[in-house]
Chain A
Amino acid sequence: MSAVRPLLLALHLLLGAAAAVAAAPPPVLERGAAQELLLTRLPPLLGSKEVRRHLETGLTTTFAFEVRVAGAAKARGGGRVDIRYELWDEVWLVTRLDGAGQAQRLRFAAFPQLEAWWRDLRLPVLRAAGSGGRADIQLRVIPFSQSEQLDAQRWLSRSLAEESGDPGAIAGLRNEPSEDLLQLLLATSIGRPPVLELRWKMAVPPPGLPGTPGTPGDIRR
């Protein structure tokens, strides 16, 4: 029984990933005005059933892009988009963090507006990159933020420690080491595994006129 469950889960993930990959066209890597690398025409993931379900939980869904350029112009960069649906006010709160460290906070009253914004998003991921080489782009969709993770860890820790009257292993984690290793081990088992992970390889567009797209390469999960 214990051997069958992981197999089923792996099969499920494989099928889900295959479906997502099939439905997700690769983004486009372009040069910006300052020759920075931009990710544009992002795959329309927000509308997919799997991602939409997570978006509507009220938790902060993070779309983390990581770009690695191999070859002579070896470089690494990335960008991030955090989307949280405010359940009470029924608005979409978005935080965009680009590769240059610029943050932008946005608010959308409706999901179609959010989708439109996503479609038109030009996300700087690398300040400057030389010509040539290939970029490895990875997108990870993480269903909740670090602060929400820490909150859940504390809550689980408190629940575990309820009988002993202990404040919980996680409660004082930042100040002093916990005395209850067991609680700590269990509470820290809450991680942030991505619900979706996509990877593309494409050529880095040569420096030149802004808007020059790179050549898409192979797509892998």
Chain B
Amino acid sequence: MSWRSATATLAVLLLAAAALLFLFERQLSSAWFRLGLQPEVAAALERSLADQKTLARLDPAGAAEYRRRFEQDQAVLQRLRILQHNRREILRRYELILLVLVGAVLVSAAALHLAGQRRRERRIERLRDGLLRLSRGEEVTLDDRGRDTLGRVAAMVEETSREVARDRRRLAALQNLSLWQETARRHAHEIKTPLTAARMELSRLGEMLQPEREEARQAVASLGEELDRLGKFTRQFTSFARLPSPRPEVCDLGEVVAEFAATFARAWPELELRVEEKAEMAKASGGKKQIKESRAAIDRALLRQALVNLCDNAALAVAAEGRRGTLTLRLAESPQGHVLEVADDGPGVPEEVRARLFEPYITSRQVGEGMGLGLAISKKILLDHGGDLELAGTSPAGTTFRLLLPYLLLSSEGAPPSSLGREPQGGEIPDHPGDTP
């Protein structure tokens, strides 16, 4: 506790109180009191009394009125004399009241100051603990809603803690996905070589077969189809393993979303695509379309791939129910960045899948209906953009995914952040296939 500052504050308060007391007592109260008890006033009243008596003697008819006036003046004079007699006591009482008031103000101010000081000390202690926990990598909640500097620092610590936690989660997800990518790459590589050899041998076997051996030809053809299926899975492995790094360019996220909705309007017969603007965001931006102001550094093709994966999942989900569904794209802003919500009205994500939803090969569909790579790829795309993909909510009424994209940090218009402009890792693939599970 800063006793020096407390003492200084109290000293200043004390001086102010003493000055106030002096001013009131010497300059105001005493002066007015003395003025009211001027001897001239008493002398004038005494003369008035004498005059009334003289008048009554000279004018006996009005004696009653003169007596009434006489008694009035006498009463005033007597009260003044009583006041005069109590002058010291009245002034002493007045000073005492002032002193008590000033004392009360001082005590209250001191109590408030000490209470404030203690509160500040406790807040600083909490802040220190929070910083220590932050340094240990823990998520920190300080619950300090003060609007002063300490409150703002606490809010910053909490925000930093949230950012660190988010980055840790993203890093963990990225590391996990990288491991899965490496595994997929090795599997693809291991499968590709024997697959190529098997195809070549099968082709040679087909050439060796006599034309009349129809049954054998059919078996070879069937075998070829199975090898093609295996090849397709291998390509999917490869596309996941060699997912390119984004090549971002500054563009209007709203336009990208609108363009996607227009381009893919008929891509899924089971889905009706809608683009919706959040009402509160429109109000906050003065009625302008917020969606038109969302500039971000993104790889349009990769973002489109991520959206395609989400739409594929939604389409398959509603198709399984034998009906047509709606998918709504909703762009908004958040402290962390642009938010693109993708909400469908499907049956929701099964509870047992939710916790590992973004891991590769996790799917709620039957074996053979998909490899469960779509959401993992989408997550990886968003993480590579410096953003994230989260499950915002799911219920039997529908599922909402939240795509988070960082705000544009530009030194000049059109130059994307260097962190996103890095060279792609691994091999390039000519197009971004929609690896739907």
B83 contact set on A, CB distance < 8 A = 152, 156, 190
B71 contact set on A, CB distance < 8 A = 88
Give bound CA distance, A164 to B426, whole Å: 88
Within 8 A of A (CB), among B69-94: 70-71, 74-75, 77-79, 81-83, 85-86, 88-90, 92-94
> Contact at B70–A148, with CB atoms within 8 Å?
no
A193 contact set on B, CB distance < 8 A = 85-86, 89
Give bound CA distance, A67 to B365, whole Å: 114
Give bound CA distance, A87 to B48, whole Å: 12
A48 contacts B by Cβ under 8 Å: no
A9 contact set on B, CB distance < 8 A = 88
Of A69-77, A115-123, A181-189, A208-216, the one with at least 4 CB within 8 A of chain B: A181-189
> Contact at A144–B82, with CB atoms within 8 Å?
yes
Closest Cβ neighbor of B96 among chain A residues: A185
A124 contacts B by Cβ under 8 Å: no
B49 contact set on A, CB distance < 8 A = 87
Tell me how far the C-beta of B315 lies from the nearest C-beta in chain A, rounded to whole angstroms: 77
B53 contacts A by Cβ under 8 Å: yes
> Contact at A189–B90, with CB atoms within 8 Å?
yes
Closest Cβ neighbor of A181 among chain B residues: B97
B97 contact set on A, CB distance < 8 A = 182, 185-186
B432 contacts A by Cβ under 8 Å: no
> Contact at B53–A59, with CB atoms within 8 Å?
no
B247 contact set on A, CB distance < 8 A = none
Within 8 A of A (CB), among B131-180: none
A189 contact set on B, CB distance < 8 A = 86, 89-90, 92-94
Tell me how far the C-beta of B408 lies from the nearest C-beta in chain A, rounded to whole angstroms: 65
Give bound CA distance, A9 to B70, whole Å: 34
A108 contacts B by Cβ under 8 Å: no
Tell me how far the C-beta of B413 lies from the nearest C-beta in chain A, rounded to whole angstroms: 68
Give bound CA distance, A156 to B76, whole Å: 11
Closest Cβ neighbor of A142 among chain B residues: B85
Tell me how far the C-beta of A179 lies from the nearest C-beta in chain B, rounded to whole angstroms: 16
Give bound CA distance, A189 to B96, whole Å: 11
> Contact at B70–A59, with CB atoms within 8 Å?
no
Across the interface, A148 reaches (CB within 8 A) one of B82, B89, B92, B94, namely: B82
Give bound CA distance, A144 to B78, whole Å: 9
B89 contact set on A, CB distance < 8 A = 189-191, 193
> Contact at B67–A190, with CB atoms within 8 Å?
no
Tell me how far the C-beta of B58 lies from the nearest C-beta in chain A, rounded to whole angstroms: 15
Give bound CA distance, A2 to B21, whole Å: 13
Do A185 and B93 form a contact, CB below 8 Å, given A9-B88, A88-B53, A88-B67? yes
Give bound CA distance, A15 to B397, whole Å: 103
> Contact at B82–A186, with CB atoms within 8 Å?
no
Closest Cβ neighbor of B25 among chain A residues: A2
B92 contact set on A, CB distance < 8 A = 189
Give bound CA distance, A148 to B78, whole Å: 8
> Contact at A144–B74, with CB atoms within 8 Å?
no
> Contact at B53–A143, with CB atoms within 8 Å?
no
Give bound CA distance, A185 to B88, whole Å: 14
Within 8 A of A (CB), among B204-260: none
Q: List 16 A-B contacts (CB under 8 A).
A: A1-B26, A9-B88, A58-B77, A59-B81, A59-B82, A87-B49, A87-B74, A88-B70, A88-B71, A143-B82, A143-B85, A148-B82, A151-B75, A152-B83, A186-B94, A191-B89
List 8 tightest A-B contacts by C-beta distance, closest first: A189-B93, A152-B82, A189-B90, A152-B79, A190-B86, A155-B79, A189-B89, A59-B78
